């Protein structure tokens, strides 16, 4: 259940509503509200509230509207907000602004190395992906590696290199944050906070990303074996914590066949478009784990309606410190950008 607060509600009317809600829900803690679609809203697990309780809430002066949402996720549901959300990347920064989820525009292409390795590698890749037509630069400074003996990323030094690359190219930057304590530092340098597949249900991290003081958008990757509902509830944490700017990223789910790294679930794109107003992009690199499959699965992703792609690109994939097998070259990226524009044009 979602309660939309009346914009003209007085502080007494609000206080009255809050204490009523505390009594109704048995909550010991103050009820928190969040801002979505230019309105202050309160989302509740309304499963146990009957029609009488809903009526009582609807009659409160502080209440503009009570919306009953039947899914476990509330604020991210299309039932609550029928119009699609566009997420603006690169606001309040000296770089190009990019909109993810604008249905009239070509898909947003995010590209760059899996890991920031050094200044030369990042700068060369950043300039090359820009030249190839990418809109956002990706690059991991904190890397969630399966083995503790693998390259773990440059950490804060990598963040500084990403900032330099933005200054040089004008491309906004997306990079992963793995710990709640690092959210503010990463948000100082990044234009989008990436929450990786392994952390999709790291609830303290989701809350911290939702509260980040820079109001950076969050790119939330699907967990290794997350259901759609689990994924949307993870997005709900971020939105409920105060950040409505969430981009969902399908990056393949774990299955039994080692031929590909994961199974790219493209069905989830049109399905999510029914369930949520949030934009969705696809990562064909981590989904397939094979560079030769990235171009065709990029085309497929656009064909099913993805709002963008995030692709790993390396100037010399054979020498990459991380995920070289799935990394494509800038020349291959250029072809994908061209094809995605043509495809969008055809589909409109």
Number of residues that bind ligand PEP (CB under 6 A): 10
What does the alpha-carbon distance between residue 305 and residue 36 come to, in Å, rounded to a whole number? 24
Tell me which stretch binds ligand PEP (CB under 6 A): 11-19, 38-46, 76-84, 196-204.
196-204
Residue 321 found at the interface with ligand PEP (CB under 6 A): no
Binding ligand PEP (rule: CB under 6 A), the pick from 43, 75, 111, 114 is: 114
Least Cβ distance, residue 286 to Mn ion (angstroms): 6
Pairing of strands 98-100, 87-89: antiparallel
Answer for the pair 3, 57: CB distance below 8 angstroms, yes or no. Answer: yes
314 in contact with ligand PEP (CB under 6 A): no
Assess 286 for contact with ligand PEP (CB under 6 A). yes
Report which of 119, 177, 118 is spatially closest to residue 143, judged by C-alpha positions: 177
Residue 141: DSSP 8-state? S
Residue 261 within binding range of ligand PEP, rule CB under 6 A: no
Cβ 257 to ligand PEP shortest distance, Å:
18
Residue among 107, 112, 140, 217 that touches ligand PEP (CB under 6 A): 140
Site for ligand PEP contains 221 (CB under 6 A) = yes
Stretch that binds Mn ion, among 113-121, 145-153, 226-234, 258-266 (CB under 5 A): 113-121
Q: Judged by CB under 5 A, which of 191, 236, 250, 323 binds Mn ion?
A: 323
Out of 135, 251, 277, 314, the only residue in the binding site for ligand PEP (CB under 6 A) is: 251
DSSP string, 3-46: EEEPTT--HHHHHHHHHHHHHHHT-SSPP--EEETTEEEEE--G
**Token pair 């700068």 in the structure block, residue:** 123
Distance from C-alpha of 335 to C-alpha of 319, rounded to nearest angstrom: 22
Q: Identify which of residues 81 and 286 has a Cβ nearer to ligand PEP in the complex.
A: 286
> Which tokens sit at 95?
């770089």
Structure tokens given for 152: 């773990």
Q: Is 192 helix (H, G, I), strand (E, B) or coil?
A: strand
Q: Is 114 in the site for Mn ion (CB under 5 A)?
A: yes
Q: Tell me whether residue 4 or residue 262 sits nearer to Mn ion (CB atom).
A: 262
d(CA 255, CA 344): 30
Q: Out of ligand PEP, Mn ion, none, which partner does residue 196 contact, by CB within 5 to 8 A per kind?
A: ligand PEP
Query: Could you tell me if 4 and 63 are in contact, meaning their C-beta atoms sit under 8 angstroms apart?
Result: yes
Residues that bind ligand PEP (CB under 6 A): 114, 140, 144, 196-198, 221, 251, 283, 286
């Amino acid at each position: 259940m979602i309660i939309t607060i009346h914009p003209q509600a007085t502080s007494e009317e609000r206080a009255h509503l809050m204490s009523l809600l505390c009594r109704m829900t048995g909550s010991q803690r103050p009820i928190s509200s969040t801002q979505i679609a230019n309105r202050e809203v309160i989302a509740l697990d309304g499963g146990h509230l009957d029609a009488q309780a809903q009526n009582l809430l609807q009659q409160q002066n502080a209440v503009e509207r009570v919306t009953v949402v039947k899914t476990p996720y509330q604020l991210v549901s299309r039932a609550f907000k029928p119009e699609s959300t566009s997420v603006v990347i690169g606001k309040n920064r000296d770089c190009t602004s990019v909109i993810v989820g604008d249905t009239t525009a070509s898909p947003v292409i995010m590209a760059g190395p899996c890991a920031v390795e050094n200044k030369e590698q990042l700068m060369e890749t950043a300039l090359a992906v820009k030249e190839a037509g990418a809109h956002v630069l990706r690059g991991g400074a904190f890397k969630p590696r399966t083995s503790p003996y693998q390259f773990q990323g440059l950490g804060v030094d990598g963040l500084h290199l990403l900032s330099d690359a933005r200054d040089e190219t004008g491309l906004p930057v997306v990079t992963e944050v793995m710990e709640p304590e690092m959210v503010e530092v990463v948000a100082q340098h990044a234009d989008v906070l990436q929450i990786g597949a392994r952390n999709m249900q790291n609830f303290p991290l989701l809350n911290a990303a939702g509260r980040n003081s820079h109001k950076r958008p969050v790119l939330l990757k699907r967990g290794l074996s997350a259901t759609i509902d689990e994924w949307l509830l993870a997005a709900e944490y971020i939105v409920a914590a105060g950040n409505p700017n969430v981009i969902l990223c399908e990056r393949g789910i774990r299955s039994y066949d080692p031929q590909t790294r994961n199974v790219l679930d493209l069905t989830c794109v049109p399905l999510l478009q029914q369930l949520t107003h949030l934009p969705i992009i696809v990562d064909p690199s981590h989904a397939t784990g094979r560079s030769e499959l990235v171009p065709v699965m990029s085309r497929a992703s656009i064909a099913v309606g993805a709002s963008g792609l995030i692709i790993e690109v390396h100037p010399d994939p054979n020498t990459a410190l991380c995920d070289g097998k799935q990394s494509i070259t800038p020349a291959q990226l250029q072809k994908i950008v061209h094809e995605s524009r043509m495809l969008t044009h055809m589909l409109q």
